[in-house]
Amino acid sequence: MTLHPAPELVLPHRAPFLFIDVIDELVIGSSATGRWKLRGDEWFFPGHFPGRPTLPGVLMCEAIAQVGAYALLSDPARASKLPLFGGLDAARFRRQVVPGDELTIRVELGRMSARAGKGVGTASVLGEVACECELMFVLVDRAS
């Protein structure tokens, strides 16, 4: 099994907005698979929803984007860039995700130019799709 650098070594995201624990598979610049274990003490659960904690769907989309960003930024030619959302299409939420669940997140990057790109991703729990979406992103220079 190949060990990949910890997400915080590749991504610019930091707690509490880093949603990827580990990357399991990587094809640099093309695809990645990662995992996010929901422990239950995350900042959003107390308010979403009291008595029935549920992972917000928009955060699943963000986690998908982060795995895509990992694949993208693992390419040395793009490592100095910052991928920003340019759009989100066809987002579908198929099941509730609760404390104790572990999301497996898979992203395939598609068409890319020097300044923008697209990808598709899914987040699943035990093989059952929880979220799927299409991502569009733009690449900008990171702040110095």
- Which of 133, 116, 115 is closest to 124 using CA atoms? 133
Average pLDDT over residues 7-19: 97
% of the chain surpassing 90 pLDDT? 96
Quickly count: other Cβ atoms within 10 Å of residue 130's Cβ: 22
What token pair was written down for 1? 């099994």
Residues contacting 115, CB < 8 A, separation 6+: 138, 139
Per the structure, the complete domain to which residue 87 belongs is given by 7-141
Q: In a 3-state reduction of DSSP, which class is residue 2?
A: coil
In a domain, 2, yes or no: no
Which pLDDT does position 128 carry in this prediction? 98
- As a whole number, mean pLDDT of residues 58-72 equals 98
Q: Which residues pair with 31 in a beta bridge?
A: 27, 108
Tell me whether residue 13 is one of the annotated catalytic residues. no
Least confident of 52-56, 58-62, 90-94, 113-117: 113-117
Structure-block tokens of residue 136: 């569009």
Residue 119 DSSP SS3: strand
Number of separate domains in the chain? 1
- In this prediction, residue 1 carries a pLDDT of 66
Looking up residue 99, the CATH number of its domain turns out to be: 3.10.129.10
The Cβ of residue 45 has, within 10 Å, a number of other Cβ atoms equal to 19
Q: Is residue 70 part of a domain?
A: yes
Q: Which of 13, 48, 94, 95 is catalytic?
A: 48
Mean per-residue pLDDT of the chain:
96
Q: Is residue 133 part of a domain?
A: yes
Q: Distance between CA atoms of 41 and 143, rounded to whole angstroms?
A: 31
Check pLDDT > 80 for residue 106: yes
Asked, for residue 1, whether it belongs to a domain, the answer is: no
- SS3 at position 60: helix
pLDDT at residue 144, as a whole number: 66
